[in-house]
Copies of this chain bind each other. A is one copy, B any other.
C-alpha cells in the first residue's frame, strides 16, 4: 500500500530539555537528528516517502521532503493532512526503536480506518497515527492526546485499531529512556551517537538499570558564564 509519512521535527533547539542533565544543547540537537534518521530509515524501508514538517527554517534533508510552517504543531499537521490524497502516517521523530517490517507494517496493514500507537510510560500521548482518510481527521497533540485522538476518530466515524508495541511506544524524553536505545537499538544511528558520546548501561546502588556517561558532559553553560565579561 502506498502511503505518505509526516514527521514533525524541530531542527534547532529541540524540545528535549529533560535530557539537559546529560546532554548539552548542541548534543541534544545532534541526538534529535540521529533519532530522526532512524525514523526516516524505518519509514523509507516501508516503501513510503517522508515529509518533515518543520516549524523552524532553514532545514534541508537529503532523503526527505521538508515543509516549513510557521503555525503551531497541530495547525501545521492539520494543514498537511488536508493536502493528502493517499493514506497518511503521522510519526514522531523521537521513537528511534521503530522498525520498518515488524512495526510500521503492523500499522498500515490494519483493516480499520485508523491505527494508533499510544505514547509510552506516564505519557498519555500519541506516537504514531495511520489514517486511510487523512483529510477527514484532525490532530490534537499535547496533553492526553491518545484519548483525544480516540474521541476525534469516533467523531469521524472511524473504526480504530490500537497497536500494542513497546518499540513504537518508547519515546525518548528523559535520561531514563536512553537505556532502551542501548539495550534494544542495535544498528541505529541514535545508539551510535550515544555510544560515541560515552554512554553505557550501568546499575545504580539499588540494582536498577540506567545509563552512565564517561567522560561526563562538558559544562558548556558554565564555561560561557565564566567567559561573560563583568557588567
Q: Is residue A121 within 8 Å, beta carbon to beta carbon, of the partner chain?
A: yes
Q: Is residue A51 within 8 Å, beta carbon to beta carbon, of the partner chain?
A: no
| A201–B145 alpha-carbon span in the complex (Å) | 12
CB nearest to A203 among chain B residues: B143
CB A118 to nearest CB in B, in angstroms, measures 7
Q: Is residue A207 within 8 Å, beta carbon to beta carbon, of the partner chain?
A: yes
| A177–B174 alpha-carbon span in the complex (Å) | 15
CB nearest to A162 among chain B residues: B184
A118 CB contact (under 8 Å) in B102, B123, B169, B184 = B184
Instruction: For chain A, give the interface size range.
Output: 35 or more
Q: Is residue A156 within 8 Å, beta carbon to beta carbon, of the partner chain?
A: no
CB nearest to A97 among chain B residues: B164
CB nearest to A150 among chain B residues: B183
Is A164 within 8 A of B102, CB to CB? yes
A120 CB contact (under 8 Å) in B121, B174, B207, B210 = B121
Is B179 within 8 A of A147, CB to CB? no
Is B164 within 8 A of A121, CB to CB? no
Q: Is residue A112 within 8 Å, beta carbon to beta carbon, of the partner chain?
A: no
Interface of A is mostly: mixed
Q: Which residues of B contact A208 (CB under 8 A)?
A: 122, 143
Is B177 within 8 A of A122, CB to CB? yes
Is B123 within 8 A of A209, CB to CB? yes
Q: Is residue A14 within 8 Å, beta carbon to beta carbon, of the partner chain?
A: no
CB nearest to A142 among chain B residues: B207
Q: Is residue A11 within 8 Å, beta carbon to beta carbon, of the partner chain?
A: no
Q: Is residue A192 within 8 Å, beta carbon to beta carbon, of the partner chain?
A: no
| A164–B106 alpha-carbon span in the complex (Å) | 12
- Among A112-134, those with CB < 8 Å from B are 117-118, 120-125
Q: Is residue A167 within 8 Å, beta carbon to beta carbon, of the partner chain?
A: yes
Among all A-B residue pairs, the 4 with the closest Cβ atoms:
A124-B209, A122-B176, A166-B169, A121-B121
- 10 A/B residue pairs, CB under 8 Å, sorted by A: A118-B166, A120-B121, A120-B166, A122-B174, A124-B183, A143-B203, A147-B183, A147-B201, A164-B168, A165-B165
